[in-house]
Structure 1
Amino acid sequence: MEMISFFTICLLTLLLFCSYVAYAQWRNTRDDATPLYIGYLLAADLHYLRQFWIDLARDHGYPYPPDLPLRWDSPLSYLSLICYILFIAKILDFQQQAPRLNRLFKSFALGYLILLVTHIVMQLLWGYSAANGLYQGARILMFPVMVLAIVFLYRHAVQFYQKLILLGCLFLVGGMISAILTEFAPWQDPLLDIIRAFQTPWGTFYFYHMKVGIFLDVICFSWALTLLQKRKMMAGAKTDPMIIQPNVARFVAVEPLLQFKKKEQEIFMQQVDDFLSKNYADEAMGVQNLAKQIYLSPSQTTRRIKEITGLTTEQYIRHYRLTRAYTLLKDPNKSITDIALDVGFKDVSHFSTCFKRQFGKSPSEMRKNAGKVKEDAG
């Protein structure tokens, strides 16, 4: 078998294997980034599967892949680029770390979605050759996206998984430069010899369509995602019971287990309170935001908070906000309306109702009583 066919098989196998591993990890964490990564892997796998299928048909007489009414390799390439862009934005948390860059990446993804639809329409109306010109130009647009991601990572990559993503992006950019130069440069033949072809004992080794860049990129990204998933699972595992073998369970004292459970509950609630202390003023903050921060599902978060406090997550968040409001009422320079807004209530009447339900008095009554206490003390 030729070297290029062997490498294509390796790439297809790697993409499929990594998508399966990512799916298995996602079943435990349910994060937002992994489905995008799986979409990138599967779309790229199907894209190169068609090319491999054509190689088999041309060289060994197999039937050609069914393309009617359109070729599906380029639309899948668009889809993989969309998933890739959104995955980088998610896993690097651009929404919190770089909001402008997050909006830019979402704009690029939307642009590629529009190009995907346009490409399909052009194939249907004017054939593949017309749509292919659009596709070649769209691939070049991916280059500035990757450069922006690399610049951000170069400045902010601290953790090892971030450095792996930086390395993967560099590998992919190297493949993109090779593909762009050999596609559009007038001196293609020398470049093919220098950049894309290496003579080996097994034949000529080609860098067709960024295959090597994608191969190395996927290895780095999958490694980074595994490290990140492991960290999330460990964060969630802090609140899980000890795993005790059945044959030694009877020798474990009850009191140490109770102390352990109490300690891990304290750690869990400290994580919850730390997040609320930074975000309680945001009226849009809710169960989804809290669950994502502590790496649990919304249902798991509510179940644990209910077990510890007797309150649902929504009730506990409201309790936290109202307790903050109780403290702010001691400041005479703040109006009740301002206090309600400061703790995340946009409806003052609803704030007063909740406050009275929790403390037995309305905010104005609580403030008057506090004033009388000061006068008596004076």
Structure 2
Amino acid sequence: MSGRHIPALDGLRGFAALIVMLSHFPDVGLPSWVNHRLGDYGVMLFFVLSGFLMGHLYLGQKPDVAALLRYGVARAGRILPLYLAVSLLSFFLFSYADPAFIYRIDGQQLLRLLSFTSAQPIFWSIGPEFQFYFLFPLIWMAFHSSRPNRPVVLLALTTAICLSYAISSWTPGFSVFAKLHIFIAGIGTALLMKAAPLRPPLAMLVLGGALAFLAAILLSPTWAEPFLFPSTRGDPKHIGYYGDLAKVLLCACVIHSATIDHRLNDWLWGNGAMRRLGAWSFSLYLLHMPAFYLAGYLPMPPAPRAVASLLLAVGIAALSHRFIEGPANHYLRRLLARLFDRQPKVILLPDLSRAEVRR
């Protein structure tokens, strides 16, 4: 089952991008359609899904040099081109063209963005994920360590993960060690899916529970708000969300539920529109705020402008995916083939537009 493409996950990452966008409406003067903290769940879903895909796509392979090269280029190619383009363009726009630009990136902030240590809204979550990409090969190699040493290696790895969670509330929010437990929940979900595939009636229970949770965070019933949406006053790192293992496990349950072969998943997440949003999710995540900023110049009432903002964000993301993300991935695949093997068929990368998630 390792490496098998799961179409519903494409749509689920599109859903994660959508709820992040909706949660940011009040930040640009648009009407509030959902709870303002819903975006934290979108980011958690992205983190869990990233961990899941790392486990699903790679742990079944031996971490030899060729596999590690494929992995490294796939990670870099998926994040760096668009991230660097948006960071640099935002710096020049804010510094030299429009001091009111939505991304207030000055020279100091640019340096932090380039070192993946920025606490800027939107950009902060890229740091933990990119840093996790450097840690994952250690996890990968631990799972493939020699049989006599494997128990000791896995015990040491588990201890390190537990210590990371224990200190997570004191760790900067942009650090992978503040969010490592969320990625690990995703890896654990991938391992669980392979070791014990869900069968009826348990599969239906998990699917129903996951959908009920998603409905609850969307509708935000008053009786559930104390648990689902605790106040972040006095909690600048939102530990009440990212540090709450119950919330993390619920997000992992959502990811697991999307792997169930059921027509409800096909209808909700596997349809063409949601999968397309999933393919554009990284562009949606990074570019929706500039799109909302541009839509602010439209002379229309707030409600129509909210719809126009969403449509503009989707259009810009589609163009970004077509002209930045796609070509960059294609170029890096060819570069790896030319530099390390001279045989492209040996070093083909996973189709990341279909197989992976980004915020």
> With structure 2 as the length reference, what TM-score do the two structures score?
0.26
Bigger Rg, which one: 1
Which structure's residues are more often helix, by fraction?
Answer: 1
> With structure 1 as the length reference, what TM-score do the two structures score?
0.25
Which structure has more relative contact order (CA 8 Å, sep 6+)? It is: 2
